[in-house]
C-alpha cells in the first residue's frame, strides 16, 4: 500500500465523531474568494483552500488526536508529530480534491441510500433519527448540511471506484503468466507416494568407495528392470528406514518432499522407476512413483456468503462502524436478530434488498481482505468486522460447494486478481493527477 493510500486510510479511519466534533465538518463550505476575506476565529484558522473547500486547523488537530488515540489503543507506531500532521493534512486535502471532483462528475446518490447512511450514524451513536436531529440542533449544526456532507463522501467513494477501475488494464499475456504461475503452484502441492532404494555413501568417502556404492545401486536397479518386485529388492538392499515397507515413503505433499525427488519423478508415469540412480548427500537413490494425486486447477471451492456493509464517513468513523457491526454480531449469535434482517435494514450495499446475499462466488471474486476473512469461516460462521477499501463488513458464510471451472472462468478469476493488485498504484496516479489540476492554496498560521 502506498503512502498516499495509507494517508487517506488514516484520514477516514480517524475522522471526527458526529457529536463531539460535528461543528468542524457540518458548516457550509466557503468559496475560495470569500474565504480569503473571512477573518479566522481565535480558536481556528484556515490551513488550506482546495478548489472551493476549506481545510481548517481544528480538523487537522482532531485527526491527529484521533490517530494518537487509536495508536495508543492498538499499540501501533506513529511517525514523529510533524510528519504525522503533514500526513493528516495531505489526506484532508486529497479528500477535498476528490469530493469536489465527485460533485462535478455527475455521480448521484439516491435518497434511500442516503437515508440508510444517516440511520447508521444514528444507530452507531445509539439514538433514534429524531434524537439525532435534536442533538444536531443543540450543537448548532444544520441537518441539511449534515446530509449533504454524507452525500459528498458517498459520491467520492463511488467516483473513486469508477475512475480508478476505468484506468486499470490487464493484458492477455499477464493473464497467461498468472495462470502459468498458478498451475506451477498447484503442481507443487500435488500429493506423491514414492518408494526408494537407498544405497548410502559415507561422508567424505574416497572416489573408489563412491564408485563401489554406485555399482551396488546399479545392480539393484538391474534387478528391478529384470522384473523383480521393487519392494523385494528394497527389503534386500535399501539402507533407509522404510526398507521393511518395501521402501515406501508414504503419501506426502510434494512441497514436503526433497526437490531432488520431486524433479526425478516428475516425468514418470505411475509405476515408473527412475532410469538412473539419483545422487544426493545421503547416497544413491532409486525411486519408484507409486501414486500421484494432482491438485485440480479446473476445480474450485465456491462460497455463498452474505454481508452487512457500513461505509465509513466523517460522521461514522471506521471504529464506530466496526463497533456497530460487532454489536450486530452479538445479536445474531444470541438469536435476537437475524443476519438477513439486519442487512436489509442497515447495509449500505446493493445486496441489502436480498438480505446481504452475494450469491455463489469463486476465489478471487472479492478484495483480498474480504477473501481472507471468508476463507477462515466455516459454513454458518460470522466474521468479526473486516475493513476493506469499500468500508467495514460483517460476513457470514452460508454454504460451500466444489465446482468445475471452465477455462473462461479461470481467466476471469485471474483478470480480477490482477486488477485488484493494480488498484493501489492506479488510485495513487489518479489522486495525484486530480491534485495537480486542483486549486490548492496553503495558508500560514495567523501571527
pLDDT digits (tens, 9 = 90+) for 402-419: 777 777 878 888 898 899
Cross-strand partners of 273? 288
**Residue ranges of the chain that CATH labels 3.10.50.40:** 190-293, 299-404
Which SS3 state, helix, strand or coil, does residue 279 take?
strand
Give the confidence band of 341 by pLDDT, cuts at 50, 70, 90: very high
Instruction: Give pairs for 254-262: CB < 8 Å, separation 24+.
Output: 254/187, 254/188, 254/189, 254/190, 254/191, 254/192, 255/188, 255/189, 257/192, 257/194, 260/285, 261/192, 261/194, 261/196, 261/285, 261/287, 262/192
Look at residues 385, 179, 212 and name the one whose alpha carbon lies nearest to residue 298. 179
Separation between Cα atoms, residue 7 and residue 119, nearest integer Å:
28
Q: Which helix (H) or strand (E) holds 393?
A: strand 391-404
Res 62: pLDDT: 86
- How confident is the model over 363-386, as a mean pLDDT? 89
Residue 286 has pLDDT above 90, yes or no: yes
Map 39-81 to HEC letters.
Answer: CCCCCCCEEEEECCEEEEHHHHHHHHHHHHHHHHHHCCCCCCH
- pLDDT > 90 fraction of the chain, expressed in percent and rounded: 49
Res 416: pLDDT: 87
pLDDT digits (tens, 9 = 90+) for 134-171: 988 888 888 988 898 888 888 988 899 899 999 999 99
DSSP-assigned states of every residue in 134-174? HHHHHTT--HHHHHHHHHHHHHHHHHHHHHHHHH----HHH
Residue 37 has pLDDT above 90, yes or no: no
Residue 38 has pLDDT above 60, yes or no: no
pTM exceeds 0.95 for this model: no
Residues in CB range of 19: below 8 A, 6 or more apart = 125, 135, 139
Give the confidence band of 119 by pLDDT, cuts at 50, 70, 90: confident
20 contacts 319 by C-beta, under 8 angstroms: no
Residue 249: count of CB within 10 angstroms of its CB:
18
- pLDDT > 70 fraction of the chain, expressed in percent and rounded: 88
* Higher-confidence position of 1 and 311: 311
Residues in CB range of 389: below 8 A, 6 or more apart = 367, 423
Residue 190 has pLDDT above 80, yes or no: no
- How confident is the model over 247-263, as a mean pLDDT? 88
Separation between Cα atoms, residue 161 and residue 45, nearest integer Å:
33
Tell me yes or no: is domain 3-169+428-442 CATH 3.65.10.10: no
CA angle 26, 30, 35 (to 5 degrees): 130
Q: Which helix (H) or strand (E) holds 3?
A: helix 3-13
- The dihedral region occupied by 100, where left means phi > 0, alpha psi between -120 and 50, and beta the remainder, is alpha
Which SS3 state, helix, strand or coil, does residue 384 take?
coil
Which SS3 state, helix, strand or coil, does residue 447 take?
coil
Res 43: pLDDT: 62
**Residue ranges of the chain that CATH labels 1.10.4030.10:** 3-169+428-442
Res 120: pLDDT: 85
Give the confidence band of 20 by pLDDT, cuts at 50, 70, 90: very low
CA angle 144, 150, 154 (to 5 degrees): 140
Q: Is 195 exposed, middle or buried (0-12, 13-18, 19+ CB in 10 A)?
A: buried
What CATH architecture does domain 190-293 belong to? Answer: Roll (3.10)
Which SS3 state, helix, strand or coil, does residue 283 take?
strand
195 contacts 292 by C-beta, under 8 angstroms: no
Look at residues 212, 190, 187 and name the one whose alpha carbon lies nearest to residue 201. 212
Q: What is the CATH number of domain 299-404?
A: 3.10.50.40
Give the confidence band of 323 by pLDDT, cuts at 50, 70, 90: very high
Amino acid at each position: 500500500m502506498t503512502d498516499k493510500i495509507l494517508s487517506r486510510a488514516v484520514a477516514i479511519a480517524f475522522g471526527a465523531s458526529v457529536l463531539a466534533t460535528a461543528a468542524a465538518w457540518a458548516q457550509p463550505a466557503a468559496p475560495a474568494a470569500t474565504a480569503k476575506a473571512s477573518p479566522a476565529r481565535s480558536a481556528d484558522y484556515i490551513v488550506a483552500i482546495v478548489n472551493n473547500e476549506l481545510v481548517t486547523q481544528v480538523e487537522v488537530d482532531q485527526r491527529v488526536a484521533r490517530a494518537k488515540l487509536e495508536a495508543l489503543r492498538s499499540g501501533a507506531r506513529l511517525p514523529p508529530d510533524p510528519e504525522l500532521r503533514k500526513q493528516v493534512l495531505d489526506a484532508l486535502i486529497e479528500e477535498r480534491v476528490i469530493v469536489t471532483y465527485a460533485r462535478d462528475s455527475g455521480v448521484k446518490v439516491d435518497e434511500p441510500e442516503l437515508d440508510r447512511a444517516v440511520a447508521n450514524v444514528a444507530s452507531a451513536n445509539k439514538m433514534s433519527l429524531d434524537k439525532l436531529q435534536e442533538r444536531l440542533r443543540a450543537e448548532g449544526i444544520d441537518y441539511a448540511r449534515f446530509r449533504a456532507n454524507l452525500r459528498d463522501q458517498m459520491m467520492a467513494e463511488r467516483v473513486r471506484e469508477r475512475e480508478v477501475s476505468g484506468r486499470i488494464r490487464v493484458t492477455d499475456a499477464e493473464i497467461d503468466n498468472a495462470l502459468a504461475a498458478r498451475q506451477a503452484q498447484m503442481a507443487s502441492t500435488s500429493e506423491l507416494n514414492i518408494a526408494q532404494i537407498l544405497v548410502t555413501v559415507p561422508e567424505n568417502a574416497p572416489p573408489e568407495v563412491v564408485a563401489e556404492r554406485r555399482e551396488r545401486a546399479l545392480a539393484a536397479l538391474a534387478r528391478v528392470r529384470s522384473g523383480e518386485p521393487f519392494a523385494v529388492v528394497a527389503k534386500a538392499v535399501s539402507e533407509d528406514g522404510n526398507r521393511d515397507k518395501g521402501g515406501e515413503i508414504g503419501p506426502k505433499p510434494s512441497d514436503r518432499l526433497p526437490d531432488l525427488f520431486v524433479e526425478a519423478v516428475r516425468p514418470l508415469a505411475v509405476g515408473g522407476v527412475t532410469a538412473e540412480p539419483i545422487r544426493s548427500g545421503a547416497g544413491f537413490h532409486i525411486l519408484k512413483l507409486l501414486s500421484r494425486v494432482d491438485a485440480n486447477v479446473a476445480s474450485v471451492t465456491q462460497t455463498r456468503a452474505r454481508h452487512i456493509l457500513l461505509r465509513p464517513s466523517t460522521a461514522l468513523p471506521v471504529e464506530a462502524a466496526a463497533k456497530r457491526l460487532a454489536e450486530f454480531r452479538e445479536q445474531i449469535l444470541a438469536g435476537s436478530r437475524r443476519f438477513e434482517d439486519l442487512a436489509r435494514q442497515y447495509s449500505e450495499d446493493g445486496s441489502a434488498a436480498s438480505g446481504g446475499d452475494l450469491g455463489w462466488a469463486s476465489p478471487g471474486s472479492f478484495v483480498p481482505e474480504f477473501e481472507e476473512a471468508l476463507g477462515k469461516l466455516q459454513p454458518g460462521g460470522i466474521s468479526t468486522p473486516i475493513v476493506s477499501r469499500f468500508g467495514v463488513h460483517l460476513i457470514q458464510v452460508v454454504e460451500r460447494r466444489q465446482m468445475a471451472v471452465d477455462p473462461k472462468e479461470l481467466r476471469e478469476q485471474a483478470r480480477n486478481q490482477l486488477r485488484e493488485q493494480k488498484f493501489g498504484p492506479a488510485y495513487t496516479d489518479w489522486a495525484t493527477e486530480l491534485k495537480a489540476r486542483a486549486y490548492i492554496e496553503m495558508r500560514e498560521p495567523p501571527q
